[in-house]
Amino acid sequence: MKRMVMAPLLIGIAVAGCAAGGEQAAGDPGAAARTPSVVSPSPSLPPSPDPSQSPSPSSPRSSGPGQSASAGPVVTGAGCNGTSVFLGQGFPEVRGTAADAELWGLLFAKGPPPLPHGEEVKIVWRMTGEGPLQVKAELPDGTRAELAWGPEEHGGSSWRRPGQEWGTGFVFPKRGCWKVELTRTRGSGHVWLLVR
């Protein structure tokens, strides 16, 4: 009898939670901190990297009110032109838009974007597909970023995203919303990065 009563009750709770549409619960001051500020239409995310295995800055991020250190990545509004930035236990990540591939970038930055202009920024890429990687970054006005080094193929790392891994170093000469395009023999994609 208890099972028959519990099943409809659990379904009712789940439906009520979905119907709330992610709105802040009344009287829950931590709900806003846990709710992403931007939700972009993208396929479901692969599991976030194991924090004990992922590269992390020298000083770990502290959790805000209502956040636990084991919470998954939070999507922020720090990207531009539809590219979301994911903040977790390590460096910020971006998920690219790709054809015949999956594309991720790990931003070795002091914090979430915008990235600095005029300074070298290391970005590690993971991309599925086949063949060597070609990378370029430019503004809509045609200004190109300097590729200071790379792409350098990595034999492996603790960053867990699909595909092969490469490292790059870019110098973005001015502010703006930069399109970084990555191309392989099979597979291509891009991300948009905000530079201040």
Q: What is the pLDDT along the chain (196 residues), one digit of tens a residue?
A: 444 433 333 333 333 333 333 333 333 333 333 323 333 333 344 444 433 333 433 333 333 333 333 345 566 555 688 898 998 888 999 999 999 999 999 999 988 889 999 999 999 999 999 999 999 999 999 999 999 999 999 987 999 999 999 999 999 999 999 999 999 999 999 999 999 9
CB contact at 8 A, 136 and 172? no
Range of the domain at 10: 1-35
Residue 30 domain flag:
yes
Residue 123, burial from CB neighbour count under 10 angstroms (0-12, 13-18, 19+): buried
Residue 113 domain flag:
yes
- Number of structural domains the chain divides into: 2
First-to-last C-alpha distance (Å) of the chain: 62
Task: Please state the pTM of the whole predicted model.
Answer: 0.64
Of 148, 150, 147, the closest CA to residue 165 belongs to 150
Paired with 87 in beta bridges are: 74
pLDDT reported for residue 193: 96
Task: Classify 51 as helix, strand or coil.
Answer: coil
Residues 98 and 191 in one domain: yes
Residues 11 and 78 in one domain: no
Please report, for residues 36, 51, 156, 157, 164, the alpha-carbon distance to residue 87 in angstroms, rounded to integers and kept in the order given.
Answer: 10, 12, 22, 19, 22
Residue 66 domain flag:
no
- Name 112's Cβ contacts closer than 8 Å, sequence gap at least 6: 76, 78, 85, 87, 92
